[in-house]
Amino acid sequence: MRTFFATALRWLSVFTLVLGGAATAAGSEPLRVGSKRFTESYILGEVLTQTAAAHGRAEHRQGLGNTAIVLAALQAGSIDVYPEYMGTIDLEILKNTSASSLEQMRAALKPMGLGVAVPLGFNNTYALAMRADSKDVDSLSDLARQGALKFGLSHEFIGRADGWPGLKQRYGLPHTPRGLDHGIAYEALAQRQVDVIDIYSTDAKIGQYGLRVLKDDLGYFPRYDAMLLYRLDAPQRFPKAWAAIAQLEGRITAEQMIAMNAQAELEGKSFAAVAKNWLTPVAAAKGPARTGLMSKMFDASLWSLTRQHVVLVLVSVVLACLVGIPLGIVAAFVPRLRQTVLALAGVLQTVPSLALLAILIPLLGMIGTVPALVALFVYALLPIVRNTCTGLLGVPPGLRTAAQALGLGRRATLVDVELPLALPVILAGIKTAAVMSVGTATIAAFIGAGGFGERITIGLALNDNDMLLAGAIPAALLALLTQGLFEAGERLIARRR
């Protein structure tokens, strides 16, 4: 079985190369820029990509989830550089208990094959904020006396070493926070579903919502100067592009970053357009107005995202069939292994998707299509294995006996009698796996594999419902189409039988 999985992964890697085309065949290797899943990181990723693209090939692997995922991608060599913050590198990545100097960080990162350079010029620190009408709270120390307040904090902030755990201890806060995506936290605060949220000091929505930023009176949060975290070999591999990127040092002020965030979040401009406007200010005189749902749904990316999504679903379900049907046969005819096989498939189904992706990136040494396909393959196994086993166990024993009486061997009985009789139940399992995979495939965007999830992650980052729907509606339609195709196939089989 281990050999089979190894072979499957090798073929999966080959298939991915065929899909994307070998980069070296099209020209020189591109500089790969990564970014996290929030507005500012998307924009800075575009600034780096467009700056490098003027001196060679560059591509932006955008919205790669949280720090753990994008760092794993950097260490695996799937990206070469991404924008990060000094406090995050110091406390979250290097796990230092107190602030260290830039030189100390460089020395600690060097054994990891990483470096930090090019301070961009602004400090985007964490802070907590409340509505302007909140009374008796001006600083973080005041929160300790307001135990009834409802905290809605981003999931990453809740788990970070420099986030909620240390903040709670430093200020003696008795609260238990709810996890909220950063993109929707402002709206939840405005609707009074929560009272306190974590923010970035360069968020454009602070002014839009008229929030009160609480003073860090005990000085808990370190500086979060925007820097570049990169692979040490990147400057040698891309000398011209890196020289151009180095010219960005100190050029972005906090006010400029707030304005760029506002262009994306409040004016509806694309991340690429915002970056271009900053790099070439003459082009920024008039930007495109915020577009509606139809424009976002049927933009130029629709075909490529559809193709990516269909490939993810199709390949993962085919692989799940190649593995799941034989496992279902084993479960049906080897009673002592039945519970083990079904339990294993069930346990794999319960692994959280983002956790599985975070594990697969260092395990496979890459981001993108391959780890996404492996994850989708894992989630598609259970219904196929279970339905194959159920379908075969439902074949009447008398038919099996009759087939053997006619001289059919065990293999011929399985292929010519039992599997055809169990086919409707097996197809129902494959249909379930395929429809589920259409929805689950949206997670692929978190590791740069594309698909409709790319629009959903951008919509979450911007709190843009139109962009969310522009990704969710095509995914739902694809799921309905998939179900319809399977049901048509089931009717055709039924008529032939």
Q: What is the mean pLDDT of residues 282-289?
A: 49
Apex 110 CA angle, 106 and 115, nearest 5: 55
- Does the pLDDT of residue 221 top 80, yes or no? yes
- Does the pLDDT of residue 198 top 90, yes or no? yes
Predicted local confidence at residue 290, as pLDDT: 58
Amino acid in the structure at residue 92: E
Output Rg (C-alpha) for the chain, integer angstroms: 26
Q: Of 4-8, 69-73, 179-183, 239-243, which one has max mean pLDDT?
A: 239-243
Percentage of the chain exceeding pLDDT 90: 54
Predicted local confidence at residue 127, as pLDDT: 93
Cα(46)–Cα(343) distance, integer angstroms: 45
Predicted local confidence at residue 79, as pLDDT: 94
Predicted local confidence at residue 350, as pLDDT: 84
pLDDT band at 197 (very low <50, low <70, confident <90, very high): very high
* Phi, psi dihedrals of residue 376, rounded to the nearest 5°: -65, -35
Which helix (H) or strand (E) segment holds residue 134: the answer is none
408 versus 488: the higher-pLDDT residue is: 488
Cα(44)–Cα(200) distance, integer angstroms: 15
Tens digits of residue pLDDT in 128-163: 999 988 888 999 999 999 889 999 999 889 988 788
Residue environment code for 135-164, b if the CB has 16+ CB neighbours within 10 A, otherwise e: eebeebbbbeebeebbbbbbebbbbbbbbb
Contact criterion met (CB below 8 Å) for 61 and 81: no
Predicted local confidence at residue 353, as pLDDT: 78
- DSSP, residue by residue, 329-344: HHHHH-HHHHHHHHHH
Cα(457)–Cα(326) distance, integer angstroms: 36
**Nearest Cα to 399, choosing from 384, 420, 385?**
420
Cα within 13 Å of Cα(46), Cβ side: 21
Structure tokens at 101: 């100097």
Cα(410)–Cα(477) distance, integer angstroms: 43
Predicted local confidence at residue 497, as pLDDT: 66
Predicted local confidence at residue 481, as pLDDT: 94
Beta strands in 119-225 (DSSP E): 126-130, 151-153, 178-179, 196-200, 212-213
What is the rounded average pLDDT for all residues in the chain?
A: 87
Q: Across the chain, which distance is largest between two alpha carbons, in Å?
A: 88
Cα(261)–Cα(463) distance, integer angstroms: 12
- Does the pLDDT of residue 219 top 70, yes or no? yes
**Nearest Cα to 247, choosing from 279, 284, 290?**
279
Predicted local confidence at residue 223, as pLDDT: 87
- Does the pLDDT of residue 196 top 80, yes or no? yes
Cα(78)–Cα(422) distance, integer angstroms: 43
- Does the pLDDT of residue 442 top 70, yes or no? yes
Predicted local confidence at residue 283, as pLDDT: 47
pLDDT band at 26 (very low <50, low <70, confident <90, very high): very low
Question: Which range, of 1-15, 107-121, 161-175, 375-389, averages the lowest pLDDT?
Answer: 1-15
Tens digits of residue pLDDT in 34-55: 999 889 999 999 999 999 999 9
Structure tokens at 401: 């006996």
Q: What is the mean pLDDT of residues 211-230?
A: 92
In three-state secondary structure terms, 153 is strand
In three-state secondary structure terms, 172 is coil
**CA-based torsion, 470, 475, 476, 477: positive or negative:** positive
Locus of tokens 């009074």? 192
Predicted local confidence at residue 63, as pLDDT: 86
Apex 129 CA angle, 126 and 134, nearest 5: 165
- Does the pLDDT of residue 28 top 80, yes or no? no
In three-state secondary structure terms, 230 is strand
- Does the pLDDT of residue 7 top 70, yes or no? no
Tens digits of residue pLDDT in 240-277: 999 999 999 999 999 999 999 999 988 889 999 999 99
Tens digits of residue pLDDT in 200-215: 999 988 988 889 999 9
**Nearest Cα to 374, choosing from 326, 441, 473?**
441
Cα(471)–Cα(452) distance, integer angstroms: 5
- DSSP, residue by residue, 232-256: TTHHHHSHHHHHHHHTTTT---HHH
Tens digits of residue pLDDT in 449-486: 889 988 888 887 777 888 889 999 999 999 999 999 99
**Nearest Cα to 116, choosing from 134, 102, 130, 126?**
102
* Phi, psi dihedrals of residue 36, rounded to the nearest 5°: -85, 180
Predicted local confidence at residue 461, as pLDDT: 77
**Nearest Cα to 338, choosing from 377, 262, 393?**
393
The CB density around residue 223, as the number of other CB atoms within 10 Å, is 12
Structure tokens at 73: 């991608």
Amino acid in the structure at residue 20: G
- Does the pLDDT of residue 83 top 90, yes or no? yes
Instruction: Kindly list the distances between the CA atom of residue 278 and the CA atoms of 54, 201, 204, in Å, as whole numbers in the listed order.
Output: 15, 20, 16
Cα(123)–Cα(246) distance, integer angstroms: 18
In three-state secondary structure terms, 424 is helix
- Does the pLDDT of residue 282 top 60, yes or no? no
Apex 464 CA angle, 458 and 467, nearest 5: 60
**What is the 8-class DSSP label of residue 215?**
B
Strands 196-200 and 151-153, sheet pairing: parallel
